């Protein structure tokens, strides 16, 4: 009696192979008769978009875009399709960064503590998000390495990872200043000491780099391997972007001074008082990822947060993206954040770009994501109407040509609207793991 069950489990294990890679798209898809919002160009209505092998192979007016004879046609009459949303700042997944042992911990990797079965990922897909910059918290001057995650159906964090040509997971470094990182020693107690500690650590990294260069590959002369220093060299040598939490105008300017002093790439996050120094940010060509909330509060340094920040930065000419900082803003309300920014004066075009292409550029992934263009990943959001209308619903979310959310699926709908069971973190979102669970519990 046990043999069939064991055989089924073996087959499932073979299917999983220890992990669950994204299911490859086998048949071309043709989304037809939709209003397309490419972001990188004007709307196309009605339009057709062809997807094959996980990428966009054609996009154009419905009347002139040929549909491959073997394609599955999906009629999207009355619907809107835009690129998958890009969140430059999320804490979904329950991960933690550095601990209380030191204020600067560049050796810590958030990917080592992310639970891919966190219900937040299901909710993010329900909000149309397809790419996240998952960050450690801001309670340190440097709390660790972030990971750029593609929200494929996943069994392990490896299934989420966006990788470089060498196969290394891509991400940035999370830094912070202001009140979050001010604590008892060894943490700083003032803003001045915060900046001093950062400078000292970067100087140490520069010295480490000098010793490595002088060794000229001679193992006997190389300094002992130091994971902290290696993490900082990735910053100093421009291999990763610093994602820097800051709120007050003086903290913003401190970050820019450090950037100029040590030459690293930076994206400024939150920037509650960016509207006070918008001209300086534009002159510095400093990308800003802003949070848009309709009920601000929680910390004194964010008291001057304004819904008009995006509009002021746009007018000044500074690059602007919008993020959730989930759970500060629920990922399912990401589109609404852009609507609030437009209400406060931001242009419709730049607000939609702030949810997509602008964030992709800040993650240095705009060659793959952020707009509907031939050759880019087939990350799509199918909407019931205008993306800035509060009445609009996310109907479907697609990642690399695979549907990862469907509002008509009762299980997916639960995570979209809430209710009993919508917080079940350990419910796997994959056919093989669901089947394996049902077999083992019989």
pLDDT by position in tens, the chain (length 442): 333 333 333 333 333 333 344 456 679 999 999 999 999 999 999 999 999 999 999 999 999 999 999 999 999 999 999 999 999 999 999 999 999 999 999 999 999 999 999 999 999 999 999 999 999 999 999 999 999 999 999 999 999 999 999 999 999 999 999 999 999 999 999 999 999 999 999 999 999 999 999 999 999 999 999 999 999 999 999 999 999 999 999 999 999 999 999 999 999 999 999 999 999 999 999 999 999 987 766 788 999 999 999 999 999 999 999 999 999 999 999 999 999 999 999 999 999 999 999 999 999 999 999 999 999 999 999 999 999 999 999 999 999 999 999 999 999 999 999 988 888 887 655 544 455 445 444 4
Residues facing residue 129 across a β-bridge: 85
Beta strand 72-75 with 266-270: parallel, antiparallel or unpaired?
unpaired
Query: 121 and 203: one domain?
Result: yes
Helix (H, G, I), strand (E, B) or coil at 338: helix
The values of phi and psi at residue 365, to 5°, are -120, 15
| Overall number of domains in the chain | 2
Last residue of a domain, one of 299, 328, 362: 362
Do 78 and 96 reside in the same domain of the chain?
no
pLDDT at 17: 37
Considering the domain architecture, whether residues 132 and 40 belong to the same structural domain is answered as no
Q: Give the end of a domain, one of 337, 362, 387.
A: 362
The encoded tokens of residue 226 equal 């130091």
* pLDDT the model gives residue 31: 98
Strands 242-246 and 173-176 turn out to be: parallel
pLDDT of residue 420: 87
Same domain membership, residue 320 and residue 202: yes
Indicate the residue among 362, 396, 412 that finishes a domain: 362
Instruction: Decide if 47 contacts 60 (C-beta within 8 A).
Output: yes
Residue 252 lies in a domain: yes
- Torsion over CA: 85, 89, 91, 97 (sign): positive
Instruction: Say if residues 268 and 282 touch (Cβ distance below 8 Å).
Output: no
Query: Are residues 27 and 111 both part of a single domain?
Result: no
Same domain for 352 and 240? yes
Whether 108 and 43 map to the same domain: the answer is no
pLDDT of res. 5: 34
Instruction: State the Cα–Cα distance between residues 6 and 25, nearest whole angstrom.
Output: 30
Answer whether 285's CB lies under 8 Å from 305's CB.
no
Q: Which residues span the domain enclosing 400?
A: 2-83+376-440
What CATH number is given to the structural domain containing 94?
Answer: 3.20.20.140
> Quick check: is 368 in a domain?
no
Asked if residue 244 belongs to a domain, the reply is yes
**Together in a domain, 77 and 156:** no
| pTM, 2 dp | 0.91
Tokens of 169: 């997971």
Task: Clarify whether residues 182 and 312 are in a common domain.
Answer: yes
Q: Are residues 77 and 92 in the same domain?
A: no
Q: Are residues 110 and 6 in the same domain?
A: no
pLDDT reported for residue 25? 67
């Amino acid at each position: 009696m046990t043999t069939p069950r064991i055989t089924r489990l073996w087959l499932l294990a073979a299917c999983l192979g220890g992990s669950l890679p994204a299911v490859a798209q086998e048949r071309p898809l043709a989304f037809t008769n939709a209003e397309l919002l490419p972001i990188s160009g004007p709307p196309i209505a009605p339009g057709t978009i062809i997807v094959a092998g996980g990428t966009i192979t054609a996009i154009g007016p419905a009347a002139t875009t040929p549909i491959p004879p073997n394609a599955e046609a999906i009629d999207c009459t009355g619907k809107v399709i835009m690129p998958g949303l890009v969140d430059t700042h999320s804490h979904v997944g329950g991960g933690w960064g550095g601990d209380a042992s030191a204020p600067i911990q560049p050796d810590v990797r958030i990917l080592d503590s992310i639970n891919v079965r966190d219900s937040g990922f299901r909710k993010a897909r329900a909000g149309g998000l397809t790419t996240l910059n998952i960050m450690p918290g801001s309670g340190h001057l440097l709390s660790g390495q972030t990971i750029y995650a593609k929200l494929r159906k996943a069994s392990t964090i490896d299934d989420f990872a966006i990788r470089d040509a060498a196969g290394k997971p891509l991400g940035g470094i999370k830094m912070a200043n202001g009140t979050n990182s001010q604590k008892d020693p060894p943490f700083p107690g003032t803003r001045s000491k915060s900046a001093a500690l950062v400078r000292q650590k970067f100087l140490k990294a520069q010295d480490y780099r000098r010793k490595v260069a002088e060794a000229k590959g001679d193992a006997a002369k190389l300094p002992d391997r130091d994971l902290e220093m290696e993490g900082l060299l990735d910053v100093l040598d421009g291999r990763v972007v610093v994602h820097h939490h800051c709120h007050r105008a003086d903290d913003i300017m401190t970050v820019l001074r450090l950037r100029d002093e040590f030459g690293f790439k930076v994206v400024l996050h939150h920037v509650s008082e960016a509207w006070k120094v918008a001209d300086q940010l534009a002159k510095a060509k400093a990308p800003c990822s802003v949070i848009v909330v309709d009920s601000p509060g929680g910390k004194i340094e964010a008291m001057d947060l304004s819904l008009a920040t995006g509009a002021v930065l746009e007018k000044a000419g500074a690059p602007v993206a919008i993020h959730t900082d989930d759970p500060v803003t629920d990922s399912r309300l990401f589109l609404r954040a852009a609507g609030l920014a437009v209400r406060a004066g931001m242009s419709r075009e730049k607000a939609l770009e702030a949810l997509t292409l602008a964030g992709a550029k800040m993650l240095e992934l705009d060659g793959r994501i952020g707009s509907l263009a031939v050759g880019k990943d087939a990350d799509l959001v199918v909407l019931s109407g205008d993306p800035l209308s509060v009445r609009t619903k996310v109907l479907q979310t697609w990642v690399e040509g695979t549907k990862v959310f469907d509002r008509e699926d009762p299980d997916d709908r639960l995570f979209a609207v809430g209710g009993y069971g919508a917080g079940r973190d350990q419910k796997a979102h994959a056919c093989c793991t669901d089947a394996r669970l049902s077999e083992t519990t019989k």
